[in-house]
Amino acid sequence: MRFGVIVFPGSNCDHDAFYAVGTNLGQPVEYIWHDSSTLGAVDAVILPGGFAYGDYLRCGAIAKFSPVMRAVRQFASGGGLVLGVCNGFQILVEAGLLPGALIRNRGLKFICREVRLAVETADSPFTSAARKGQTLRMPIAHGEGCYFADERTLDELEAEDRIAFRYDGNPNGSLRDIAGVLSRERNVMGMMPHPERATKPLMGSSDGLTVFQSMMGAAVRV
Residues that bind other proteins (CB under 8 A): 9-10, 12-13, 15-16, 19-20, 49-51, 53-56, 109-113, 139, 141, 143, 194, 196-197, 199, 201-203
Q: Which is nearer to other proteins, 54 or 133 (CB)?
A: 54
Q: Which is nearer to other proteins, 9 or 173 (CB)?
A: 9
User: Shortest approach of other proteins to residue 158 CB, angstroms?
Assistant: 30
Q: Which of 13, 86, 120, 144 is catalytic?
A: 86
Q: Catalytic site residue 194? A: yes
Q: Catalytic site residue 160? A: no
Q: How many residues does the chain have?
A: 222
The 3-state secondary structure of 128-190 reads: CCCCCCCEEEEEEEECCCEEECCHHHHHHHHHCCCEEEEEECCCCCCHHHEEEEECCCCCEEE
Sign of torsion, CA 131 135 141 142? positive
Q: Which is nearer to other proteins, 49 or 99 (CB)?
A: 49
User: Shortest approach of other proteins to residue 61 CB, angstroms?
Assistant: 14
User: Shortest approach of other proteins to residue 203 CB, angstroms?
Assistant: 6
Q: Which of 94, 120, 144, 196 is catalytic?
A: 196
Element (H, E) at 93: helix 87-94
DSSP summary character for residue 21? I
Cα–Cα distance between 217 and 125 in angstroms, integer? 8
**Positions marked catalytic:** 86, 194, 196
